[in-house]
C-alpha cells in the first residue's frame, strides 16, 4: 500500500488530470486545481493505490497517520473529491465505494516514474512481468446458456495451476483457493486482492458448433493493466492438448520457465475429460459443507471411482464426504466413518504417499476411533508430504485444540491461511482458539469481523452466537441462533438455542428444543451429545451425563470436544464426567 508520507517522485495521469505529488499539485487540462492539504492527501492515497480496495481504516492511517479522527471526516473528503472531479450520482468513474470494504480508484492511471535526470518513463510490460511473484488462475466462465460443460472452465484452471505450480519462482494459488469463485461473477481485481496476488488470470469460453473458443487475459492486480491476452479456438475433442499450449503462453507472459512436473502422488487425472469435470464438480459441492452438497459430492466421487478405480483422489473424495457427513452429524457414526476409512485406505493402497489420503485417515482416527497417537501421526505425515494442503493443516488445528494446544493450533490455521488467504472459513477459525480458551471478547471480535465481510457465512454466525452466550449475553445469542435455526434447522443449532434459552431463564422454550430433537429423530440421526448440551443448560446433570455415556457407546464424534467445550462446563468435576475423560484419554 503506497504511503502519502514517503517521498513520491511519480506523476500520475488519468483522463484530463495530472497529479504531481512532489509539487503537491493537481492539474486539469494543464490548469492547477486548488485542493486543501488533506483533500490532496486523500486523492494521492487513492490514486497511488489505484485498482486496490482501500479500507476506511487504511485510508485514515495514510492521511492522518496515528492521529484519531472521526470517520465522517474521510467521508466528507471523498464527497469533496467527487465534486471536484466532476462525478455525478451513480456515475462514479473515478472513486467507487465498495460496500463493507472501503474505496477504490477505478479510472485508468498512467504512472510516470521520475529518473535521476528529471525525465520520466512508464512501466513496461517486462517490468510488470519481473514484478509478478504470485498469481491466481480463476475458473474460466462458460457463456453458453445450456452450460452442459460448466466445469470445463474449472478443469482448465486446475490444469494450468498444476503446470505453473512446478516453477518455484512464482507462487500459484491452489485450486481449492479459487474454486469458491466459480460462477460468482465477482470482479477479478477484487478476487486478486482477496487472494493477495500480484496478477490474476480470467476469461470466458463458449462453443461454436464443434469448436471451443477461449478468450483469456492476465491482469496486473495493482495497476489493472493487461500483461497478456490471447484468443484460442480449437476442436472440443482437442481441448486437453490446448491446455499445455495455454500454460506455455502464460509462462512466457510471466517470463518464467515451465518446469517438468514432479508427478505428485495421487494427482494423476482421470483419462476421461467428462470424469475430470465430474471430479472437480464433486470437490466444489463438497466445499459447500451442506448435507445436499456432501451427498451429491459423494455421488460424483463414487461414480468416478467405479469408472476409474485406480484414480486415488476419487477415493479421497468418497472418504472426505463420509467424514464430513459424520462430523456434521448428518449421518450416524456407524453410517459414515467406517466407509470413510475403507475409502481412505483404498486411496493409500493406490498411492502410499498421497497427503490427502493420510489427512482423511487422520480424521477417521481422531473423530471415530479416538486414537490420538495414530491421528497425530497421520496429520503430521500429511503435512510433510504436502505442506501446501490447507485442509490437512486446518483439520490438524482442530485436533490440537481438543488437547488445549491452542498456540500450536493457531500456527496451523495461519499456515493454512498463507495457502488460502481468501478463505472466510479459515478467518473464522482464527477465533476458535480464543473461544475455547474462554477469551470470548477476542473471539467475538474475530467472528464479527468475518461477518462484516460475509454476512451469510453461517459458520461464523454459529460461533459468534456460541461466544455471546458464554460471554453473558444470552439474549443476543438467542437472536443469532434463532436466525440459524430458521434458515436451516440443524440439530446442533437447535441444541445450542435450547442452552441459550435456559441461560436466559426461558426453561419452557429450552424443553421445547428437546422435544424438537425427539421429533427430528423420527426421520434422522440425532447425536446424544446435542441433547446433553440442552440438559446442561437446564442444570439436569444426570441426564446430560447419561447422554454423553450413550455417546461413548456409539462412538459419537463430538466427544472429542469433551475437555474444552464451554457448553459442558457445568459437568466439570463430576465423577462420571471425569471417568468419561479417562476412558477417552482426554484427562
What per-residue confidence (pLDDT) applies to 242? 67
CA nearest to 443, candidates 465, 458, 411: 465
Residue 556 has pLDDT above 50, yes or no: yes
521 phi and psi, to 5 degrees? -65, -15
Which is nearest to 251 in space by CA: 264, 260, 238?
260
Residue 239 is predicted with a pLDDT of 65
Is residue 347 scored above 70 in pLDDT?
yes
Q: What is the mean pLDDT of the chain?
A: 85
pLDDT recorded at residue 166: 66
DSSP state of 367: I
Whether 495 shows a pLDDT value over 80: the answer reads yes
Question: Which segment of 265-279, 328-342, 460-474, 572-586 scores lowest on mean pLDDT?
Answer: 265-279
CATH of domain 128-259: 3.40.50.10070
pLDDT band at 418 (very low <50, low <70, confident <90, very high): confident
pLDDT band at 66 (very low <50, low <70, confident <90, very high): low
Residue 355: its pLDDT value, please? 93
* CA 584 and chain centroid, separation: 33
User: Residue 253 — very low, low, confident or very high, per pLDDT cuts 50/70/90?
Assistant: low
Q: Is the pLDDT assigned to residue 261 strictly greater than 60?
A: no
Q: Using the predicted structure, report yes or no on whether residue 265 has a pLDDT greater than 50.
A: no
Q: In sequence order, which residues have a C-beta less than 8 Å from that of residue 331 and are 6 or more positions away? A: 322, 325, 525
Q: What is the crossing angle of helices 355-364 and 372-385, to 10°?
A: 160
The CATH number for 431-587, chosen from 1.20.58, 1.25.40, 1.20.1070, 2.20.25, is: 1.25.40
For CATH 3.40.50.10070, list the domain ranges present in the chain. 128-259
All CATH 1.25.40 domain ranges of the chain, comma separated, are: 431-587
Rounded-to-integer distance, Cα 188 and Cα 181, Å: 10
User: Half-sphere exposure of residue 249, counting CA atoms within 13 Å on the CB side?
Assistant: 15
Query: Which own/partner pairs from 545-553 qualify as long-range (CB within 8 Å, at least 24 positions apart)?
Result: 545/571, 545/574, 545/576, 545/577, 545/580, 548/577, 548/580, 549/576, 549/580, 551/527, 552/580, 552/583, 552/584
How far, CA to CA in Å, does 338 sit from each of 331, 333, 343, 363, 364?
A: 12, 8, 9, 12, 8
Nearest alpha-carbon partner for 492 in 332, 367, 291, 329: 329
* 208 vs 479: which has the higher pLDDT: 479
CATH value of 10-122 in 3.90.230.10, 3.40.190.150, 3.90.25.10, 1.10.10.10: 1.10.10.10
Give the count of beta carbons closer than 10 Å to the beta carbon of residue 568: 20
pLDDT (tens digit per residue) in 300-316: 999 999 999 999 999 99
Give 200's strand partners: 136, 219
DSSP state, residue 6? S
Q: What is the pLDDT of residue 93?
A: 82
The rounded radius of gyration (Å) of the Cα atoms in the chain is 27
User: In the block, which residue shows the cell 509539487?
Assistant: 23
pLDDT digits (tens, 9 = 90+) for 93-120: 888 888 777 888 888 888 876 544 444 4
pTM for the full predicted model = 0.69
Lowest average pLDDT, out of 241-245, 428-432, 460-464, 580-584, goes to: 241-245
Best CA proximity match to 358, nearest among 374, 335, 372: 374
Residue 370: predicted pLDDT: 96
Confidence at 575, pLDDT banded by 50, 70, 90: very high
Residue 258: predicted pLDDT: 54
Please give the average per-residue pLDDT across 167-173, as a whole number.
Answer: 77
- Kindly provide the b/e burial profile for residues 371-399, where b requires at least 16 CB atoms within 10 angstroms of the residue's own CB: ebeebbebbebbbebbebbbbbbbbbbbb
Count of CB atoms situated within 10 Å of the CB of 28: 14
Q: Using one digit for the tens of pLDDT, what is the confidence trace for 420-445?
A: 887 888 999 999 999 999 999 999 99
User: Is the alpha carbon torsion for 321, 323, 327, 331 positive or negative?
Assistant: positive
Number of residues that this document lists for the chain:
587
Read off the pLDDT of each residue in 356-368 and give the average, rounded to a whole number: 97
Other residues' Cβ atoms within 10 Å of the Cβ of residue 142: 21
Closest CA to 272 of 151, 411, 137, 122: 151
**What's the rounded mean pLDDT across residues 511-515?**
97
Instruction: Give the pairing type, strands 25-28 and 31-32.
Output: antiparallel
The per-residue pLDDT for range 134-158, each reduced to its tens digit, is 889 898 887 765 555 567 777 778 8
Q: Rounded to the nearest 5°, which phi and psi values hold at 114?
A: -75, 135
Domain with CATH 1.10.10.10 in the chain: 10-122
347 vs 236 pLDDT, higher one: 347
540 HSE (CA, 13 A, CB side): 18
Residues 195/417, Cβ–Cβ less than 8 Å: no
DSSP 487-552: H---HHHHHHHHHHHHHTT-HHHHHHHHHHHHHHTTTS---HHHHHHHHHHTT-HHHHHHHHHHHH
Q: Select from 487, 531, 488 the least CA-distant residue to 511.
A: 531
How far is the C-alpha of 551 from the C-alpha of 568, rounded, in Å?
14
pLDDT for position 339: 97
> What are the φ/ψ torsions at residue 544 (nearest 5 degrees)?
-60, -45
Assign 400 a pLDDT band (cuts: 50, 70, 90): very high
Amino acid at each position: 500500500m503506497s504511503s502519502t508520507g514517503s517521498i513520491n517522485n511519480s506523476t500520475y495521469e488519468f483522463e484530463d488530470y495530472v497529479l504531481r505529488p512532489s509539487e503537491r499539485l493537481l492539474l486539469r487540462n494543464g490548469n492547477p486545481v486548488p485542493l486543501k492539504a488533506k483533500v490532496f492527501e486523500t486523492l494521492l492515497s487513492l490514486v497511488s493505490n489505484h485498482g486496490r480496495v482501500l479500507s476506511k481504516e487504511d485510508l485514515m492511517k495514510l492521511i492522518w497517520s496515528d492521529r484519531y479522527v472521526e470517520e465522517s471526516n474521510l467521508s466528507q473528503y471523498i464527497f469533496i473529491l467527487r465534486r471536484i472531479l466532476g462525478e455525478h450520482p451513480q456515475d462514479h468513474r473515478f472513486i467507487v465505494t465498495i460496500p463493507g470494504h472501503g474505496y477504490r480508484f477505478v479510472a485508468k492511471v498512467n504512472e510516470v516514474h521520475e529518473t535521476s535526470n528529471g525525465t520520466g518513463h512508464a512501466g513496461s510490460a517486462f517490468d510488470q512481468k519481473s514484478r509478478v511473484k504470485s498469481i491466481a488462475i480463476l475458473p474460466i466462465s462458460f457463456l453458453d446458456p445450456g452450460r452442459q460443460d460448466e466445469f470445463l472452465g474449472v478443469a482448465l484452471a486446475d490444469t494450468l495451476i498444476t503446470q505453473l505450480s512446478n516453477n518455484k519462482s512464482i507462487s500459484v494459488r491452489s485450486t481449492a483457493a479459487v474454486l469458491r469463485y466459480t460462477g460468482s461473477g465477482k470482479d477479478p481485481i477484487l478476487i486478486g486482492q482477496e487472494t493477495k496476488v500480484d496478477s490474476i488470470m480470467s476469461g470466458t469460453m463458449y462453443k461454436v458448433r464443434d469448436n471451443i473458443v477461449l478468450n483469456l487475459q492476465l491482469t496486473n492486480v495493482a495497476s489493472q493493466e493487461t500483461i497478456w491476452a490471447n484468443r484460442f479456438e480449437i476442436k472440443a475433442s482437442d481441448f486437453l492438448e490446448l491446455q499445455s499450449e495455454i500454460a506455455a503462453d502464460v509462462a512466457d507472459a510471466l517470463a518464467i520457465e515451465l518446469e517438468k512436473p514432479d508427478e505428485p502422488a495421487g494427482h494423476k487425472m482421470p483419462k476421461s475429460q467428462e470424469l475430470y469435470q465430474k471430479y472437480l464438480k464433486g470437490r466444489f459441492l463438497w466445499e459447500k459443507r451442506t448435507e445436499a452438497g456432501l451427498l451429491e459430492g459423494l455421488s460424483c466421487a463414487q461414480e468416478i471411482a467405479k469408472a476409474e478405480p485406480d484414480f486415488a483422489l476419487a477415493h479421497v473424495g468418497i472418504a472426505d464426504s463420509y467424514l464430513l457427513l459424520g462430523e456434521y452429524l448428518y449421518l450416524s457414526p456407524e453410517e459414515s466413518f467406517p466407509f470413510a476409512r475403507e475409502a481412505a485406505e483404498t486411496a493409500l493402497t493406490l498411492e502410499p504417499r498421497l497427503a490427502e489420503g493420510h489427512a482423511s485417515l487422520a480424521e477417521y482416527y481422531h473423530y471415530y476411533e479416538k486414537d490420538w497417537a495414530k491421528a497425530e501421526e497421520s496429520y503430521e505425515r500429511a503435512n510433510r508430504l504436502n505442506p501446501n494442503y490447507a485442509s490437512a493443516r486446518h483439520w490438524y488445528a482442530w485436533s490440537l485444540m481438543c488437547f488445549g494446544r491452542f498456540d500450536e493450533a493457531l500456527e496451523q490455521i495461519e499456515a493454512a491461511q498463507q495457502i488460502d488467504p481468501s478463505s472466510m472459513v479459515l478467518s473464522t477459525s482464527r477465533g476458535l482458539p480464543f473461544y475455547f480458551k474462554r477469551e470470548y471478547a477476542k473471539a467475538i471480535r474475530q467472528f464479527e469481523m468475518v461477518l462484516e465481510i460475509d454476512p451469510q457465512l453461517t459458520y461464523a454466525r454459529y460461533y459468534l452466537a456460541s461466544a455471546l452466550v458464554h460471554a453473558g449475553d444470552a439474549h443476543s445469542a438467542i437472536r443469532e441462533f434463532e436466525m440459524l435455526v430458521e434458515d436451516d434447522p440443524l440439530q446442533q443449532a437447535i441444541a445450542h438455542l435450547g442452552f441459550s434459552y435456559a441461560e436466559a431463564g426461558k426453561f419452557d422454550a429450552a424443553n421445547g428444543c428437546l422435544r424438537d430433537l425427539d421429533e427430528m429423530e423420527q426421520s434422522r440421526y440425532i447425536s446424544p451429545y446435542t441433547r446433553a448440551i440442552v440438559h446442561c443448560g437446564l442444570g439436569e446433570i444426570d441426564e446430560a451425563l447419561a447422554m454423553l455415556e450413550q455417546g461413548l457407546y456409539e462412538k459419537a464424534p463430538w466427544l472429542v470436544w469433551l475437555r474444552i467445550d464451554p457448553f459442558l462446563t457445568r459437568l466439570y468435576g463430576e465423577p462420571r464426567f471425569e471417568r468419561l475423560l479417562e476412558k477417552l484419554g482426554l484427562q
